[in-house]
Amino acid sequence: MRDPSRESLRQVLLKRRDATSHEMLKIVSESIRNILRGSSLFDDITNVGVYHAIGSEVMTSGIIQDLLGSGRNVFLPAIQNNVIVFKNVHGIKDLIP
């Protein structure tokens, strides 16, 4: 059973995110990308799980391109037989269903 207060908060946050302009979303997404580029977080990491943005979510295509360009193994979630699995992505063409 879902917590009604938690569900209510989720709906409020989704409405705020959906109300964010496309320009602001691009600015925030690029800012996050730049923070990750400057971080040592991925220095010793070979495999990275990431999501591909849908709708008003933070745009991750640039981050995915950076990771692929640096030779890392990139995995995105997919649903197979009602189970979430992570699929290895080798390029942007792999994102097309």
pLDDT digits over 7-35, tens only? Answer: 898 899 889 888 889 999 999 999 999 99
Kindly state the DSSP code that residue 2 receives in the 8-state scheme.
-
What is the model's pLDDT at position 64?
A: 94
What is the model's pLDDT at position 84?
A: 95
pLDDT above 90 as % of the chain: 62
- Contacts of 73-80 with C-beta under 8 Å, sequence gap 24+, read 73/46, 73/47, 73/48, 74/48, 74/50, 75/47, 75/48, 75/49, 75/50, 76/49, 76/50, 76/51, 76/52, 77/49, 77/51
Q: With a cut of 70, say whether residue 89 has pLDDT above it.
A: yes
Mean pLDDT of 70-95: 92
For tokens 């097309």, what's the residue?
A: 96
What is the model's pLDDT at position 42?
A: 81
What is the model's pLDDT at position 73?
A: 96
pTM: 0.81
Instruction: State whether CATH 3.40.50.10420 applies to domain 4-95.
Output: yes
Angle at the Cα of 79 (from 75 to 83), degrees rounded to 5? Answer: 105
